[in-house]
Structure 1
Amino acid sequence: MSLLRNPYQLLRGLLPDAPLQVGTVVSITGGVASVQLPGGGVAQARGEAAVNDRVYFRDGVIEGPAPSLPIELIEV
């Protein structure tokens, strides 16, 4: 039995998954939310949210609401 695999799937297996991030929605335009990150950056994500909602998002997609907890930034 041949153990041939799809080269693309092998390559995808070597790459890490996109990180889960948290941020606050600052605006929504055309179904795309601008999400402000704790460090001050802004990212774009698609999904259901309202302005001032805290959300979890990954790879440009809002995954759900995030709790409003204090954020501690740690420099590495």
Structure 2
Amino acid sequence: MTCGHEWAREEEAPAGRIVKDAHGNVLTDGDCVVLIKDLPLKGAQVLKGGTKTKPIRLVDGDHEISCKIDGMAVGLKACFVRKA
């Protein structure tokens, strides 16, 4: 997966957690989300705010959301998205 941000391992939450978006809505597998701000990817690419994703998967790790945007697999933090 591609992302411009990395977080330390000690910031991870325990398994079985509830994932909430930037507005406090609970996210589940299969939800579609919208980016709330521009996010840099590795290299010179940028994901624009307002971009809608395909249905998401919640995963363990430093990026709680795994999804596809424009055919590219991307890992996202829940604090940068809102439920569509």
Same fold (TM over 0.5): no
TM-score normalised over the length of structure 2 = 0.33
Structure with larger RCO (C-alpha < 8 A, sep 6+): 2
Q: Which has the higher strand share?
A: 1
* CA radius of gyration, larger in: 1
What TM-score, normalized by structure 1, do the two folds share? 0.35
